[in-house]
Structure 1
Amino acid sequence: MLMTKPHPTETAVSRVRRARPRTTAQIRLPDGRLYEAPVGTPLGTYFKAIDHTARHALPVIAALVNGELRELTYPVERDADVVPITLADSDGQRIYARSLTFLMIAAVEELYPEADITVDYALYSGGLYCVVNRRAPFTATELQRIEARMREMVDADMPIGKEHVPLEEALRHFEAKGYTDKVTLLKNRKKDYLTLYTLGKTRDYFHGYMVPSTGYLRQFALRPYGSGFALLYPRHEQPDVVQELKESPGLVAVFNEYGEWMRLMGISNVGALNEAQEAGRMREIILVSEALHEQRIARIASAIAQRQPRVRVVLIAGPSSSGKTTFSKRLSIQLLANGIRPVPIALDDFFVNREESPRDENGQYDFESLHVLDLPLFNSTLNRLIAGQEVTLPRFNFFTGLREEGNTISIDEDEVILIEGIHGLNPELVREIAPECIYRIYLSALTQLNIDRHN
């Protein structure tokens, strides 16, 4: 008797069965673990169960669901690949900071309803610099009271809700609170509704996601800072530690100056910028901004002139694309106006031959390392120029990767050497140069235009 095997397609088809709609959905974590719950279960509920089995893990405060960032209130309707987001992630830190800001605002509204808080800028140590309007700055005792109330709200694990309201209702709400910046920003909104977050009696609009309740916000501190206060929270590099507040008078001065510039131009937020555009003021704003920058550069040039004849080297540092080259050219003009002739020297010309360049952990040339520079030659060259000697500069050939001979120069007493590069503030760069001969400048795009007083 002959036996025939069924065709593979027939076998596969025979395995297909009619099914009822599933009542559960699964999430798969990056390590392959699967968790299942009824369809529509919020992400946060999944992670509460997962955290219960991994007590030492950082709290999850959001998640990527099939590659899209979602709040923990997001209902899981179908199977999904899920990546937890914690304070160790940049997205997690932004959500934490935003939620913590809302908690602080709600506590202030309850305790000091006459106060109006502006969240001004981020602090390097991990936190936000905030300004109190409509009343005197908070005292240390008042800040302690606000922080205590915030911790009570955290212990109560109060829900942070979300509601969709007609745009007109939202505008009336912000007008009543005196939030003219939010009104200005939202009056041209195309959608006829707005999503507001709620915490107790506080309602506000934020540009981004939140944690689902205050119980997630256990790490923070309030400290007096400058003419306002700092709301501190962990940085994502150390997500379980609130860093001590580091006083930075120079940084505070920069932001205060920037705030004064914005006041002069009448541009304190995005809504004001939109109004300026509608009024045809953009050319004026650009020209005023350029004039303010030029004034600042002129003051720097005057400071260098006042230290003559001691200052012989000006080092200009800053991250990539911060405008070092443009700044150097503008500073050169201002130095000439002070009777000082700038002599630019390219730091790149002091590269070691490419084969001698240091390598990173992947074996690739590390062109951002300080030791890609021939430091002994660089220091010797500067010292000889400062001493009035004639020096033949090197010139690096990027095509061959070799250093060649360049121009021969010397400098007079009315000249200063201008050098720009990312290592300008590194003391190892000029360790053989007398400190009184050096003037350092750091450039960085530190400031930003806020969306509104809370964003």
Structure 2
Amino acid sequence: MNNDISVSLINPNNKIDCIKVKYDTPIYEITDKFNFPSEKIYAARVNNEIKSLDSRIKYKCTIEPVLSNTKSGALVYRRSLCLLLAAASHNLFPDRRLLVGHSLGYGYYYTFENEIETRQEELDALTKEMKRLIKENIRITTSIISYQEAEELFEKLNLTETRKQLNFNCMSGVKINTIGDFSDLFFEPLVLSIGVLKVFDLMKYQNGFLLRFPKSSDPDTLMPFKDEPKLFEIYHKYKEWGKRINVTSAASLNALIADGKINDFIEITETYQQKNISKIASQIIGKGTVRIVLMAGPSSSGKTTSAKKLALELQAMGYMPKVISLDCYYVGRDKTPLGPDGKPDFECLESLNIELLNQNLIDLFDGKEVNIPSYDFHTGTSYYEDDNKIKLAPNEILIMEGIHGLNEKLTSKVPSKFKFNIYLSALTQLNLDDHNRISTSDNRLLRRIVRDNNFRGKSAAGTIEMWPSVTKGEELHIFPFQNNADAILNTALDYELSVLRVYADPLLRQVKPSQKEYSEARRLLAFLDNFATIAPTAVPPRSIIREFIGDSAFKY
């Protein structure tokens, strides 16, 4: 019997080379067939599913290398670097629990349990140990052990949250990754050997430290550190809140669902979020001179519902908010600057009539009546309607949300005393376990997949396909200005992934292996597997989550 398997290798410019390999050949044995240095190949896309290089070829397939200078390659690198740090920490400090926190720039924030301040000499020792392991180029082994062995292993390694998660993922065989004497739960593919993990830094920050890594487009260089103190403060505040209510991980959330206590937790999280919106409303009124609230945040951060919730809080304080959409100020398709692709760039600041917007705002604050323009997206033209005139009473405040809200150039002629800037993002404080964080971007992408399907009829593959262009726009027009915020609102709700799974799971399962988006769909499905489901009927009618799943008490 011929056990040769046909494999199509995708090289630069989509050039395909066809080869034959023996059944069960590991992928790393054929990486020399690609026109790339082997050390730049971190994983492989097999029939559009990303796999570790030690995965074995068992059927006819197309294989494409996952390179160091791609987003997928960067994620593999970062996950592998996190495992290396955990292994080094175990080697040096076996009695201390290392806990991953959140992202900060191109880095992840870590602390030891109870936030015992990390000393510089400890960071120096960790760095030295990581470099020692890298120099030895130790192989990351992937294996499957029994459920009972996994229980004993994670208890021995003091991986508390990882051990708890086993209670809700009762597989007879548990997949793990191992470096030397340290093992952790397998979540996603890692590099084959740690010798490639040479670009990193450990930097003391607050009570903990940052594990810094390169950006995807420049995998050989660390970017200069840019502090984001306001964002860190919000993250830290929510982490502390999570500790107080004893819900810090997917396992903690799953335990509440299993014990029938999730409804109370939903009310607690919704109340806490509303309390923070109320605090922001008090800040706005407390400033005494605010006439316009500018809100900005990345895609699917819940800007629309947050604006409506804030408006209710302001009304409760005796103020009457009015909403102006930035979309009204598009200059028109024929006047919009072209992007690199030769198409109108509707996300750039110059696509808006900034001069008119500033003049309208100044006139409104002077007590004048203003005719606000309208924009026809079908014809791409700006026009006026007689019934679109507004005038501000002394107790009326404008609310304007849009991607450029925190860019000072948007309202440069408006005195700062009249403005209050709010940045929104879904900054979940939950981790998957001790060493694996939940990506804010993944949370928002799942929201977007559900909303796009519910309200625009778009498939999961369609949303995944356009997501890179969305995040590129955020990096250009939103993230650079988040430190201009007077307040930051966290729109994440720590139970939401269990609700989103109900909707997203069947949508993601429709993405076929023949589609490029398959690898991302499979990754998101594996991520959602960590969460037990919550019935959508448990979501309150005014929740931000209703903006994505539907049946909101608000009108959009």
For the superposition of Structure 1 and Structure 2, which TM-score range results when normalised by the shorter chain?
A: 0.7 to 0.9
Pick closer, same or farther for the CA change 1:440–1:270 going to 2, 3 Å: same
Q: Return the letter of the residue paired with 1:186.
A: L
Q: Return the letter of the residue paired with 1:210.
A: L
After superposition, where does 1:96-135 map in structure 2 within 5 Å? Answer: 96-124=77-105, 126-133=106-113
User: Secondary structure of the equivalent of 2:168?
Assistant: coil
Distance 1:303 1:384 in 2: 25
Question: More deviation in 36-45 or 428-437?
Answer: 36-45
Distance 1:36 1:224 in 2: 50
1:191 equivalenced with 2:171 (yes/no): yes
- What is the match of residue 403 of structure 2? 422
Query: 1:242-283 CA deviation, whole Å, 9 max, x = no partner?
Result: 223322111111111221232343321111111101122222
Query: Does the CA-based 8 Å contact 1:276-1:282 persist in structure 2?
Result: yes
- What is the match of residue 275 of structure 2? 295
Task: Normalising by structure 1, report the TM-score.
Answer: 0.87
Distance 1:268 1:152 in 2: 33
Query: 1:30-85 CA deviation, whole Å, 9 max, x = no partner?
Result: 234567776654322333x458x855x86111111232322111234566532111
Query: Does the CA-based 8 Å contact 2:98-2:112 persist in structure 1?
Result: yes
- What is the match of residue 28 of structure 2? 44
Q: Which ranges in structure 1 are unaligned for 5 or more consecutive residues? A: 1-19
After superposition, where does 1:414-453 map in structure 2 within 5 Å? Answer: 414-447=395-428, 449-453=430-434
Pick closer, same or farther for the CA change 1:357–1:403 going to 2, 3 Å: farther
Cα deviation, residue 353, structure 1: 3.8
Structure with the largest fraction of helix: 2
Cα deviation, residue 412, structure 1: 3.0
Aligned residues: 431
Task: Select the residue among 300, 319, 322 that pairs with 1:321.
Answer: 300
Question: More deviation in 318-327 or 366-375?
Answer: 366-375
- What is the match of residue 121 of structure 2? 141
Q: Which ranges in structure 2 are unaligned for 5 or more consecutive residues? A: 437-556
Distance 1:262 1:346 in 2: 35
Query: Does the CA-based 8 Å contact 1:385-1:391 persist in structure 2?
Result: yes
Q: Return the letter of the residue paired with 1:189.
A: N
Distance 2:184 2:164 in 1: 15
User: Secondary structure of the equivalent of 2:432?
Assistant: coil
Distance 2:6 2:375 in 1: 62
Pick closer, same or farther for the CA change 1:211–1:397 going to 2, 3 Å: closer
After superposition, where does 1:361-400 map in structure 2 within 5 Å? Answer: 361-398=340-377
Pick closer, same or farther for the CA change 1:26–1:287 going to 2, 3 Å: closer
Question: More deviation in 273-282 or 28-37?
Answer: 28-37
Task: Select the residue among 22, 25, 28 that pairs with 2:9.
Answer: 28
Query: Does the CA-based 8 Å contact 2:116-2:207 persist in structure 1?
Result: no
Distance 2:140 2:115 in 1: 28
Cα deviation, residue 135, structure 1: 7.3
User: Secondary structure of the equivalent of 1:129?
Assistant: strand
Task: Select the residue among 184, 190, 194 that pairs with 1:210.
Answer: 190
Q: Return the letter of the residue paired with 2:89.
A: V
- What is the match of residue 254 of structure 1? 234
- What is the match of residue 286 of structure 2? 306
Q: Return the letter of the residue paired with 1:249.
A: P
Query: Does the CA-based 8 Å contact 1:42-1:76 persist in structure 2?
Result: yes
Q: Return the letter of the residue paired with 1:222.
A: L
Distance 1:332 1:167 in 2: 51
Distance 2:39 2:394 in 1: 60
Pick closer, same or farther for the CA change 1:336–1:112 going to 2, 3 Å: same
Distance 1:231 1:378 in 2: 43
Q: Return the letter of the residue paired with 2:422.
A: I
Query: 1:291-337 CA deviation, whole Å, 9 max, x = no partner?
Result: 111111111111111211x2222111112332112111111122233
- What is the match of residue 502 of structure 2? none
- What is the match of residue 135 of structure 2? 155
Pick closer, same or farther for the CA change 1:437–1:284 going to 2, 3 Å: same
- What is the match of residue 506 of structure 2? none
User: Secondary structure of the equivalent of 1:236?
Assistant: coil
Cα deviation, residue 102, structure 1: 1.3
Pick closer, same or farther for the CA change 1:135–1:362 going to 2, 3 Å: closer
Distance 2:257 2:59 in 1: 45
- What is the match of residue 521 of structure 2? none
Pick closer, same or farther for the CA change 1:399–1:29 going to 2, 3 Å: closer
Query: 1:144-183 CA deviation, whole Å, 9 max, x = no partner?
Result: 1110111011011112122221101111222233333222
1:237 equivalenced with 2:206 (yes/no): no
Question: Which has more radius of gyration?
Answer: 1
Query: Does the CA-based 8 Å contact 2:239-2:429 persist in structure 1?
Result: no
Distance 1:74 1:312 in 2: 60
Distance 2:378 2:180 in 1: 65
Distance 1:131 1:374 in 2: 47
Task: Normalising by structure 2, report the TM-score.
Answer: 0.72
Query: Does the CA-based 8 Å contact 1:265-1:288 persist in structure 2?
Result: no
Task: Select the residue among 220, 244, 252 that pairs with 1:272.
Answer: 252
Q: Return the letter of the residue paired with 2:405.
A: G
Question: More deviation in 355-364 or 82-91?
Answer: 355-364
- What is the match of residue 360 of structure 1? 339
Question: More deviation in 373-382 or 407-416?
Answer: 407-416
- What is the match of residue 316 of structure 2? 337
Distance 1:54 1:353 in 2: 45
Distance 1:210 1:354 in 2: 45
Q: Return the letter of the residue paired with 1:204.
A: D
**Among the aligned pairs, what percent are the same residue?**
31
Pick closer, same or farther for the CA change 1:203–1:139 going to 2, 3 Å: same
Question: More deviation in 70-79 or 279-288?
Answer: 70-79
User: Secondary structure of the equivalent of 1:352?
Assistant: coil
Distance 2:53 2:224 in 1: 30
Q: Return the letter of the residue paired with 2:181.
A: K
Distance 2:173 2:182 in 1: 18
- What is the match of residue 54 of structure 2? 73
Distance 2:409 2:275 in 1: 32
Cα deviation, residue 361, structure 1: 4.0
Query: Does the CA-based 8 Å contact 1:351-1:403 persist in structure 2?
Result: no
Distance 2:227 2:341 in 1: 37
- What is the match of residue 451 of structure 2? none
Distance 1:133 1:180 in 2: 11
